[in-house]
Amino acid sequence: MQKNPGKALSHDEKMGTMPIGPLLISTALPMMLSMLVQALYNVVDSLYVSRLASSEEAINAVSLSFPLQTLMIGIGIGTAVGTNAMLGRYLGAKMPLEAERSANTGLFLSIITSLVFTVIGLSFSNFYFRSINSPAMNKALAIADALEREAEVARINKIISYGTSYCTICLSLSMGFFLQATFERMLTATGRSRIAMLCQMSGAVTNILLDPVFIFGVDWMGIPSLEVAGAAVATVIGQFVAGIMAMVFVSAKVKEVRIHIKKLKWHTQTVKEIYKIGLPSIIMQCVGSVMNYLMNLILIGFTTAATAFFGVYYKLQSFIFMPVFGLNNGMVPIISYNYGARQKQRVWSTVRLSVYISMAIMTVGMIVFETMPGTLLRLFNAGEEMMKLGTRGLRIIAIHFPVAGFCIIMGSVFQAVGNPTHSMIISVCRQLLALLPAAWLLGRLFGLDALWFSFLIAEAVSLALSVTFLKKTRGIIDVALG
């Protein structure tokens, strides 16, 4: 009997029988668009604070907050990715009780983690900013001229003050982010990526609209100018909006799994399964956080303009990388489902198409960075020193983008089929064993301009490892799926 062509496909029919091209586009495109909006509101924070009177200090504060935020985001997303993969795999294997337990346990872990970051935000933010600015402070205290020394010390103290308030707010009120990360990925894992996109975009738009309100203040509304702290307030409000929306949609729309308050508890076996997949992702993000912290320590030894540029670079490159991460979010449940359903051909078709799309996006990004670096930097009100070093830096760093596109997809493929350790090894080798030593050595021997070539060296290491692990993974899949 022929199926009614006008009837919407079920989740199983979509994941297991729909042609890979339309399936990947329909699943990933909403996430890619939402990630673009996410990148936009990440950039908007820096765009607005760059218009403050102390623009370089404000940009430095937001930029230097990145390692702590990356740590929080990494743990939240890693837990959600593990939950997402297990949910997709159990649904593909027709094991609804295990799928539901995965969802409830994953949410429990996210709530506990948000409470941990509340403590970190309240107790650790000031120490962190003093430690990362210590090389610049020591350099400032060594200035012979008293007036110049006093002005430089005051400038660095302003960075510390701005950064402490920004991080304290973002981390101590992180519950919204953790709810958003968990529930949005539940929506994606059950084939509702468009709803997940709507939630994420709503949070991002909320943040964008509220940024100028809290950063600069609105006299007639009685809202004072909170400066950099205002950017943090707008961020957490946006996260709560997205998180609550996603939670409501999961409760109302997702019939495959149900969230029960009584089931929000520790289940040892499920926790092990979630972190078997999610822990390498968390470690990779933690490695990224450590890399960013240590890279800033290296750069601040040259000039604070270098750390400001490094932060701006990460904001700008998010417009290129975020859509690829959105592609990953759409790709992972397809691979996980078909791996669980033993559909080898569909697994590899998804991988190939994802690689093509990712490398195309990254190539466009490389062209933009190579042809208009000055225009990009002027968006952030870059001063003369930052403009000079940043123009060269963007052009050098962007060379590695297409290769990075391939490596990003491979990392998610390894996670989706249960080989997350490969992704972790690649991340550690790329960022800690290749990038940082190369940056320190090139900077010390040849100066700041040469330091940016360390990104190319690190990506070459990542490519070699990705290709090696891909060969091993192909063999494992061929044996497992026949």
Dump pLDDT digits (tens) for 182-198: 888 888 777 777 788 88
Answer yes or no: is pLDDT of 172 > 90.
yes
CB-CB contact of 136 with 300 (8 Å): yes
75, burial (CB in 10 Å: exposed 0-12, middle 13-18, buried 19+): buried
- Note the Cα 205 to chain centre separation in Å: 18
DSSP 8-state secondary structure symbol assigned to residue 430: I
Looking at residues 213-229, what average pLDDT do you find? 88
Pick from 67, 12, 66, 58: nearest CA to 338: 12
pLDDT of residue 1: 40
Pick from 120, 113, 190, 125: nearest CA to 160: 125
> d(Cα 412, Cα 293) in Å, to the nearest integer?
24
Q: The whole model's pTM is what?
A: 0.77
Answer yes or no: is pLDDT of 466 > 50.
yes
> d(Cα 238, Cα 249) in Å, to the nearest integer?
17
More confident residue, 480 or 7: 480
Which residues have CB under 8 Å from 130's CB, separation 6+?
A: 160
Looking at residues 85-102, what average pLDDT do you find? 77
With cut-offs at 50, 70 and 90, classify the pLDDT of residue 94. confident
6, burial (CB in 10 Å: exposed 0-12, middle 13-18, buried 19+): exposed
- Note the Cα 185 to chain centre separation in Å: 14
Dump pLDDT digits (tens) for 434-450: 999 999 999 999 999 99
> d(Cα 41, Cα 47) in Å, to the nearest integer?
10
With cut-offs at 50, 70 and 90, classify the pLDDT of residue 163. very high
pLDDT of residue 424: 82
DSSP 8-state secondary structure symbol assigned to residue 431: I
Which residues have CB under 8 Å from 421's CB, separation 6+?
A: 280, 414
Looking at mean pLDDT, say which of 189-198, 232-241, 260-269 comes out highest: 232-241
Looking at residues 335-364, what average pLDDT do you find? 87
With cut-offs at 50, 70 and 90, classify the pLDDT of residue 13. low
Pick from 247, 274, 285, 343: nearest CA to 84: 274
> d(Cα 111, Cα 108) in Å, to the nearest integer?
5
Rg of the chain over all Cα atoms, to the nearest angstrom? 23
Looking at residues 367-395, what average pLDDT do you find? 91
- Total number of residues shown for the chain: 482
pLDDT of residue 153: 86
Which residues have CB under 8 Å from 31's CB, separation 6+?
A: 188, 193, 196, 197, 326, 327, 329, 330
Answer yes or no: is pLDDT of 129 > 80.
yes
Phi, psi for residue 223 in degrees, rounded to 5:
-100, 120
pLDDT of residue 2: 43
Q: What is the SS3 assignment for 284?
A: helix
pLDDT of residue 7: 55
Answer yes or no: is pLDDT of 4 > 60.
no
Dump pLDDT digits (tens) for 397-429: 999 999 999 999 998 888 777 777 888 888 889
More confident residue, 40 or 207: 207
Segments making up each domain of the chain, as ranges: 15-481
With cut-offs at 50, 70 and 90, classify the pLDDT of residue 168. very high
> d(Cα 58, Cα 109) in Å, to the nearest integer?
34
Long-range (24+ apart) CB contacts under 8 A made by 46-52 are: 46/311, 46/312, 46/315, 46/380, 47/379, 47/380, 48/211, 48/212, 48/215, 48/216, 48/231, 49/215, 49/227, 49/228, 49/231, 50/380, 50/381, 51/381, 52/215, 52/227, 52/228
With cut-offs at 50, 70 and 90, classify the pLDDT of residue 36. confident
> d(Cα 320, Cα 398) in Å, to the nearest integer?
10
Which residues have CB under 8 Å from 129's CB, separation 6+?
A: 61, 64, 159, 160, 163, 164, 167
Angle, alpha carbons 19-250-182 (nearest 5°): 90
DSSP 8-state secondary structure symbol assigned to residue 223: B
More confident residue, 480 or 261: 261
